[in-house]
């Protein structure tokens, strides 16, 4: 396996991000990706030959709660720990900014993502019935001092 560096994205990473979006398509507009890079909320996994193998990003809702909005690793780089490293980079980034809880979500039918989040100690907090199907929400306590749901509601 080649060396992979996790870092905040730059505008020059857009073509690599677009390549990933063409392979793992959730209909994510380029403008949205650009805004998130500008806000320093998008991390990329860059290989030693400068390929973008994956990315992860978050938004902040209600002005106080970070949410992992997209996390994608190219199929040929999956199951090598990159998704975990991207998620941990986001968690550390928001923790450093004073947030003590983070949310994420996944489609009910996405078993891989569900396993991935459980492995990272995300706890179910409810579901929304979306046009594409059921979206399951989860939270994680970043302080490791209490229940994730309690932290969200307090
Ligand atoms: C979900 C995703 C980001 C995981 O990235 P990844 O780099 O492959 O994940 P990791 O290698 O860090 O895996 C961490 C753990 O997740 C679980 N996992 C990951 N891929 C899995 C798979 N194909 N089958 C079962 N469990 C899996 C395992 O518990 C794994 O730990 P292990 O390898 O020690 O068993 C990746 O599969 C992906 O891009 N999927 C398509 C987009 C998507 O579904 N995004 C998530 C929606 S929020």
DSSP 141: E
Testing ligand 1's pocket by substitution, the residue of 25, 66, 79, 117 carrying the most ligand atoms inside 8 A of its CB is 79
115 CA from centroid of ligand 1 (Å): 7
pLDDT 10s digits, 109-153? 999 999 999 999 999 999 999 998 999 999 999 997 544 443 333
- How far is residue 120 from each of residues 86, 124, 140, measured CA to CA in Å? 12, 12, 8
Query: Which ligand 1 atom sits closest to the C-alpha of 82?
Result: 7
Ligand 1 pocket test, pick from 55, 78, 133 with the greatest ligand atom count within 8 Å of Cβ, gives: 78
Best CA proximity match to 147, nearest among 119, 114, 125: 125
Going by pLDDT thresholds of 50, 70 and 90, the confidence category of residue 1 is low
Mind listing the pLDDT tens digit for each residue in 43-84? Answer: 999 999 999 999 999 999 999 999 999 999 999 999 999 999
SS3 of 56, please? strand
Distance CA 142, CA 33 (A): 25
Which ligand 1 atom minimizes the distance to the CA of 72? Answer: 39
């Amino acid at each position: 396996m080649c060396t992979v560096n996790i870092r905040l994205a730059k505008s020059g990473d857009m073509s690599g991000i677009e390549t990933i979006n063409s392979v793992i398509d959730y209909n994510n507009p380029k403008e949205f990706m650009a805004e998130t890079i500008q806000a320093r909320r998008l991390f990329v996994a860059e290989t030693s030959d400068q390929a973008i193998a994956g990315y992860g990003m978050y938004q902040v809702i209600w002005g106080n709660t970070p949410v992992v909005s997209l996390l994608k690793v190219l199929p040929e780089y999956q199951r090598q720990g990159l998704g975990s490293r991207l998620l941990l980079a986001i968690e550390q980034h928001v923790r450093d900014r004073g947030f003590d809880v983070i949310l994420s979500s996944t489609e009910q039918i996405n078993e891989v993502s569900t396993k991935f989040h459980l492995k990272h100690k995300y706890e179910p907090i409810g579901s929304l019935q979306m046009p594409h199907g059921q979206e399951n929400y989860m939270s994680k306590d970043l302080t490791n001092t209490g229940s994730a749901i309690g932290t969200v509601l307090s």
